Amino acid sequence: MNEDWLASARTLSKALPYLQRYDGATVVIKFGGNAMGDDAEMASFARDIVLMKHVGINPVVVHGGGPMINEMLARLDIQSEFVGGKRVTDAATVEVVEMVLSGRVNKRIVQAINAEGGRAVGISGKDAGLMVCEQTNPDLGFVGTPVEMNPDFLHSLAAAGTIPVIAPIGAGREGETFNVNGDTAAGAIAAALNADRLLLLTDVSGVKDADGEVLSEITPDEARKLTAEGVIAGGMIPKTETALHAMENGVRAVVILDGRAPNACLLELLTEHGAGTLIKA
């Protein structure tokens, strides 16, 4: 008997309980700019998303694109700075942020998913009032906090067999355009959908302890303790804060994992040990 076939059959039989567990589940995947990698890594991510849809999971992709925004701002000679993990966003900057995120980055992901046989639909928080925002803090300019969501629109996209790919741009009630941190947007969308899982894809294997070892599972209290001790620092702070906030608002569990690792999403959902760090009460 063909050895490859046997190995695939064994893998599949082990995955069966997980396929049953996630049948009909909603999984929100935050795809950060640093997790995107080259075309081959993008294609691998897209294959995972399409496979999820085929086996009965409802994937909802929310993306970032910080490095791509930086590149375009540099080309246009516009200076940019971050305060507390958020980009200070003036009127000129928000135009570039929307063009890069809703344009190039969103369509690159949509095209990659469709090339793998999926039916992705690229939108932003502006479409169908998906994510109405208010200004986060006047010092940050056009940075928004989601205050009102339209999950029904996402349910209808899933029911139509499509995969929503969402750029983290929100509309204000006075016609403003708001730049929303990708993790914040993903958390708000996952909460509005009462998602079974929120996967935060980044460029490290998971949350590390003081010795640099990746922790396979932590509780919200342990995450708070690691932050107070300074072990969780930098860009990992807003990520774990998003995770805890999403869990307080209806998301069952959150996983922080390396989006560039082959089959990261599928390994997380369909194997016993998963991938990355599971944050669960």
Ligand X SMILES: CC(=O)N[C@@H](CCC(=O)OP(=O)(O)O)C(=O)O
Ligand Y SMILES: Nc1ncnc2c1ncn2[C@@H]1O[C@H](COP(=O)(O)OP(=O)(O)O)[C@@H](O)[C@H]1O
Q: Does 278 bind ligand Y (CB under 6 A)?
A: no
CB-nearest residue to ligand Y: 235
Tell whether residue 181 is among the known ligand binding residues: no
Shortest distance in whole angstroms from residue 101 CB to ligand X: 6
Per CB under 6 A, 203 contacts ligand Y: yes
75 annotated as a binding-site residue: no
Rounded distance between C-alpha atoms, residue 102 and residue 122, angstroms: 8
- The DSSP letter of residue 89 is B
Nearer to ligand X, 27 or 101 (CB): 101
User: Residues with Cβ < 8 Å from 268, sequence gap 6 or more?
Assistant: 199, 255, 257, 274, 275, 276
- Least Å distance, CB 35 to ligand Y, is 5
93/23 Cα distance (integer angstroms): 42
Tokens of 248: 């307080």
| Residue 233, contacted partner among ligand X, ligand Y, none, CB below 5-8 A by kind | ligand Y
Q: Is 79 exposed, middle or buried (0-12, 13-18, 19+ CB in 10 A)?
A: exposed
Closest distance between ligand X and the C-beta of residue 33, in Å? 3
Taking the least distance from each CB to ligand Y, the nearer of 53 and 87 is 87
For 139, which DSSP code?
Answer: G
Q: What is the CA radius of gyration of the chain?
A: 18
- Shortest separation between residue 119's beta carbon and ligand Y, angstroms: 26
Q: Does 236 bind ligand Y (CB under 6 A)?
A: yes
170 binding partner (options ligand Y, ligand X, none; Cβ < 5 to 8 Å by kind): none
> Contact between 202 and ligand Y (CB under 6 A)?
yes
Residue ranges that bind ligand X, judged by CB under 6 A:
32-34, 64-66, 69, 86-87, 97, 143, 168, 179, 181-182
- Shorter beta-carbon distance to ligand X: residue 203 or 217: 203
DSSP per-residue codes, 172-225: ETTS-EEE--HHHHHHHHHHHTT-SEEEEEESSSS-B-TTSPBPSEE-HHHHHH
Element housing 107 (H / E): helix 106-115
Q: Has 65 been labeled as part of a binding site?
A: yes
CB of 58 or CB of 181, closer to ligand X = 181
Pick the stretch among 13-21, 44-52, 96-104, 198-206 that binds ligand Y (CB under 6 A): 198-206
Q: Is 66 known as a binding-site position?
A: yes
Q: Are strands 86-87 and 120-124 parallel, antiparallel or unpaired?
A: unpaired
Q: Which of 200, 190, 198, 201 is nearest to 146 (CA)?
A: 190
Q: Which does 181 bind (CB under 5 to 8 A by kind): ligand Y, ligand X, none?
A: ligand X
Binding mask 215-234 for ligand Y (x = CB under 6 A): ----------------xxxx
**Alpha-carbon span 145 to 22, nearest angstrom:** 30
- Euclidean distance between CA atoms 178 and 175, whole angstroms: 10
Q: Per-residue x/- mask for ligand Y, residues 39 to 78, rule CB under 6 A?
A: -------------------------x-x------------
| Known binding-site positions for substrate | 65-66, 87, 179
